[in-house]
């Protein structure tokens, strides 16, 4: 069985092309975090975006978009939690404040579970939901 060795403090930027490759860490140039967002009226009298930004939770990350989407469609871990109305999967590059270069959105549809949707109106202009 192969063992993956990964140092969480090793790569704060893209790997140096002149350095020998290390298992796993040099192969990972992109991650796919899954962030849950609540748009419930939890904080009255504040703009919707302020409420949304205070009501987010990153459930985890995946090495591929397909793995993240499969997890969402199976609702692993019960991500709705009677609170969250939307999920966003971002394609985030490595580095400090890695850029979210793509997003895939889902909304909670009750008994149907998570269904794909367009980016909500209130999400326009917000980047990097998972990393802040």
Three-state SS string across 101-129, please? EEEEEEEECHHHCEEEECCCHHHCCCCCC
pTM for the structure as a whole: 0.70
Query: What are the pLDDT digits (tens) for 77-88?
Result: 999 887 888 999
pLDDT per residue as tens digits for the range 93-112: 888 878 888 899 999 999 99
CA dist 112 and 106 (Å) reads 12
**What gap in Å lies between CA 35 and CA 27, rounded to an integer?**
23
Domain ranges of the chain: 30-119
């Amino acid at each position: 069985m192969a063992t993956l060795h990964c140092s969480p403090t090793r790569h704060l930027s893209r790997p140096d092309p002149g350095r020998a490759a290390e298992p796993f860490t040099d192969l990972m140039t992109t991650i796919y975090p899954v962030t849950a967002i609540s748009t419930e009226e939890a904080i009255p009298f504040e703009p919707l975006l302020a409420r949304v930004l205070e009501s987010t939770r990153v459930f985890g990350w995946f090495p591929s978009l397909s793995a993240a989407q499969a997890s969402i469609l199976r609702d692993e871990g019960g991500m709705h939690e009677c609170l969250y109305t939307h999920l966003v999967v971002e394609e985030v590059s490595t580095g400090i404040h890695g850029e979210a270069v793509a997003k895939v959105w889902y909304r909670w549809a009750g008994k149907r579970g998570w269904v794909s949707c367009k980016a909500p109106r209130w999400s326009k202009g917000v980047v990097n939901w998972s990393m802040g």
